[in-house]
Amino acid sequence: MKNEGDTPRAVTMRDVAQAAGVSVSTVSHVVNNTGARIGRDARERVRRAIEELGYRPNAMAKNLVKGGSRFLGLVADAIASTPFAGQIIHGAQDEAWQHGYVLLVANTEGNEEAEASAISMMLEHKVRGILYSTWYHRAVDLPAGLAEADTVLVNCYSTNGAVPAVVPDESAGGHDATRMLLAEGHRRIAFLNTRTPSPARDGRLDGYRRALDAAGLPFDPDLVVDVQPDQGGGYAAVDQVLAMRATAVFCHNDRVAMGLYDGVRDRGLRVPDDLSVVGFDNQEVIAAHLRPALSTVALPHYELGRRGVRVLLGLDVPEAGTGPLAVDCPSVPRHSITRPSES
Amino acid sequence: MKNEGDTPRAVTMRDVAQAAGVSVSTVSHVVNNTGARIGRDARERVRRAIEELGYRPNAMAKNLVKGGSRFLGLVADAIASTPFAGQIIHGAQDEAWQHGYVLLVANTEGNEEAEASAISMMLEHKVRGILYSTWYHRAVDLPAGLAEADTVLVNCYSTNGAVPAVVPDESAGGHDATRMLLAEGHRRIAFLNTRTPSPARDGRLDGYRRALDAAGLPFDPDLVVDVQPDQGGGYAAVDQVLAMRATAVFCHNDRVAMGLYDGVRDRGLRVPDDLSVVGFDNQEVIAAHLRPALSTVALPHYELGRRGVRVLLGLDVPEAGTGPLAVDCPSVPRHSITRPSES
DNA sequence: CTGAAAGCGCTAACAA
DNA sequence: TTGTTAGCGCTTTCAG
């Protein structure tokens, strides 16, 4: 921590120039080693001066003259509530960094006013673009201010499809989850879906059906039951699952799976011997640490953040009219799946 | 998303002045409604021009002339790995915002190079100060660059105590956790501490002892056992706990408690009827959703972030020479504690 | 009440 | 190879 008495006015390029006995433009050139090749001698003197004075270029001045900043805005509706938002930030941050951009992060916790002020603050800093992200996949209405900047939606999309978006591929995820079960030989696979209407609900169901279909299995509506998408929901559904004589269950998310584990155990049964289970989300704290560790499908938050900045910077160009860019949800096999017992 | 053909050069104050038929300084005055009282007429014309042209002040230009930004830097070692870092960011963000500051967030994932470049980027943007935070409470060696800015440590501290720091009050937390058990009448309370040397380990143990002491109970070293600080550690310790005939257990963290739950259940026993349990951390996904919900003590990450910016801005002034500012860890009673059964 | 003018720290022609 | 000279968009005396 510094604080050397009275405001020691930062050292500027002029100071360096003076100390090195050259002009500012010379300093500028060696600092950015721009075209003009500077003589060994001068260059060396400048370097030394910089070193001695502890000079730091002033990014704001630079941006001003360059007419545009190296900022990228990221507005998130829930940095704190879940580990998920953190992953999005992380991914965005890494990719942005790689291209010399800095992230301006704003948390709005769903508050519209905070959102508006965050956006205008970003606009005033002349951000190169804004990433607007939500912690769970859903459709959103864009705050007005966003129209003024290049925007890309992350983990959400606008209903009119007017703004580029990147979202998880729910359907492929549902397909892969189901596939994991199928691959071990399961034929009666229950699906504990959420009862909350959402892209996740529709997409995962679609994937489930496609996987069944591909395996030549009929879709049996009795096998899918809608539950509260949390531990309670999973726990409450055990009897139903057991009654339908399913040998495996695809849970809408890891929390449902966690509840299911509890219920199964309470009935003296075991995962995966008596029931194979696959989750969705790959929520570390849960999935990796349940006993047995839960096989699941990961929501690619990091990747969503990364791809978000890539399309923002024009590095990735989503096919026009193709809807949101769907990012893969990788399967994470662990130990909650085994072959169905003969019966 | 915008993009109206060829770079439509942002509207500046000059444009507004021109459109309103006044000088830039007049515009500046109405925008910031500074001293000089501007005539109704002029003020109105300016307002209209601003509106029509969609003028946005350029924060970078403003900062340049004002000689100092409204940025606060936050470097975190693990945004993604845990929900915790998110909370710190959130708290910092809220407080910063309140005082007109914007957060520049950098994730370093422990990488020294990333750290150095993050810090110098912040320095170049002339941040008002830097918050250096870690996801778990520990001592740190400060990266060199930090010396150039006002710094405060969040959830960590420098061994030499030269830099202001704000950390959780582990000892008080340990005390309160134990107190919750004591309050229900428990006298034989086991403590499953971590085996990793850390402020958390020492502090919580200290709190445990103080609580026992205050209750007139002797400290029995046989009651404290060091375990791996995760599910596995808790699970592995059940037999030991049972053997010592403890009626309650204070777990170093919620994950240990989670493992303990599993083990207890495997032995056909129940929480809290056969064993009361209290955790530490209040990791939502775990604590709130275990069955029964886990009583625990919360790590005040949000508050740490908040207080961090407060001391950075000089709003809170830690007593000199008093060491890090210790932030309270609130108890979160849920349902894993009951009176010990008569025996 | 309002405007002219001098910079903030830096880059980028253009000269020399 | 190096220096001169304009600004970037804005704030801020200081005069009118």
Q: Could you tell me if B245 and B276 lie in one domain? A: yes
- Residue A8 covered by a domain: no
Q: Could you tell me if A247 and A149 lie in one domain? A: no
Q: Could you tell me if A199 and A311 lie in one domain? A: no
Low-confidence ranges of chain A (pLDDT < 50): 3-5
Dihedral, B190, B194, B195, B201 alpha carbons, nearest 10: -100
Alpha-carbon gap: A163 to the closest alpha carbon of chain B (Å):
6
What's the Å distance between residue B33 CA and nucleotide D12 C1'?
A: 14
What's the Å distance between residue A21 CA and nucleotide D11 C1'?
A: 31
Digit-coded pLDDT (tens) for B92-135: 999 999 998 999 999 888 899 989 999 999 999 999 999 999 99
Q: Could you tell me if A162 and A201 lie in one domain? A: no
The answer to whether A163 faces chain B, any CB pair under 8 Å, is yes
Q: Could you tell me if B251 and B286 lie in one domain? A: yes
- Residue A340 covered by a domain: no
CATH of the domain at A86: 3.40.50.2300
- Residue A64 covered by a domain: no
Q: How far apart are CA B12 and CA B61, in angstroms?
A: 11
What is the CB neighbour count within 10 angstroms for residue A214? Answer: 12
- Residue B65 covered by a domain: no
The answer to whether A94 faces chain B, any CB pair under 8 Å, is yes
Nearest nucleotide, C1' to the C-alpha of A64?
Answer: D8
Low-confidence ranges of chain B (pLDDT < 70): 1-8, 35, 80, 342-343
**A129 forms bridges with which residues in the sheet?**
A72
- Residue B339 covered by a domain: no
- Residue B336 covered by a domain: no
Q: How far apart are CA A274 and CA B141, in angstroms?
A: 51
Q: Could you tell me if B84 and B198 lie in one domain? A: no
Q: Could you tell me if A128 and A231 lie in one domain? A: no
- Residue A241 covered by a domain: yes
**Strand bridging mode B102-107 / B151-158:** unpaired
Digit-coded pLDDT (tens) for A74-104: 999 887 677 788 889 989 999 999 998 999 9
**Residue B7: what pLDDT?**
58
Q: How far apart are CA B69 and CA B150, in angstroms?
A: 14
Q: How far apart are CA B337 and CA B333, in angstroms?
A: 8
Taking the alpha carbons at both ends of chain B, their separation in whole angstroms is 70
Q: Could you tell me if A213 and A183 lie in one domain? A: yes
For A79, phi and psi rounded to 5 degrees?
-60, -40
The answer to whether B312 faces chain A, any CB pair under 8 Å, is no
Which B residues 45-104 have CB within 7 Å of strand D? 56-58, 61-62, 64-66
Q: How far apart are CA A76 and CA B247, in angstroms?
A: 45
For chain B, list the strands marked E by DSSP.
71-76, 102-107, 129-140, 151-158, 165-168, 189-194, 224-227, 248-251, 276-278, 296-297, 325-327, 331-332
**Residue A321: what pLDDT?**
73
Residue A37 lies in domain:
13-57
With tokens 């932030």, the residue in question is: B327
Q: How far is CA A90 from CA A109, A302, A304, B264, in A?
A: 18, 6, 10, 38
Alpha-carbon gap: B149 to the closest alpha carbon of chain A (Å):
6
Q: How far apart are CA B325 and CA B55, in angstroms?
A: 44
**Residue B322: what pLDDT?**
81
Structural domain count, chain A: 3
Q: Containing H/E element for A45?
A: helix A40-53
Q: Could you tell me if A184 and A278 lie in one domain? A: yes
Q: How far is CA B17 from CA A107, B50, B155, in A?
A: 35, 9, 49
- Residue A3 covered by a domain: no
Full-model pTM:
0.90
**Strand D: positions under 7 A of a protein C-beta atom:** 1-5, 7-14
| Helices and strands (H, E) in chain A, number of each type | 12, 12
In eight-state DSSP terms, residue A113 is H
The answer to whether B69 faces chain A, any CB pair under 8 Å, is yes
**Residue A85: what pLDDT?**
81
Chain mean pLDDT for chain B: 93
Digit-coded pLDDT (tens) for B214-230: 999 999 999 999 999 99
Reference A153, options A133, A128, A168, A135; nearest CA is: A133
Per-residue tokens: A75: 């507005």
Q: Could you tell me if B164 and B174 lie in one domain? A: no
Q: Could you tell me if A155 and A147 are in contact, meaning their C-beta atoms sit under 8 angstroms apart?
A: no
Q: Could you tell me if B295 and B265 lie in one domain? A: yes
Q: Could you tell me if A291 and A307 lie in one domain? A: no
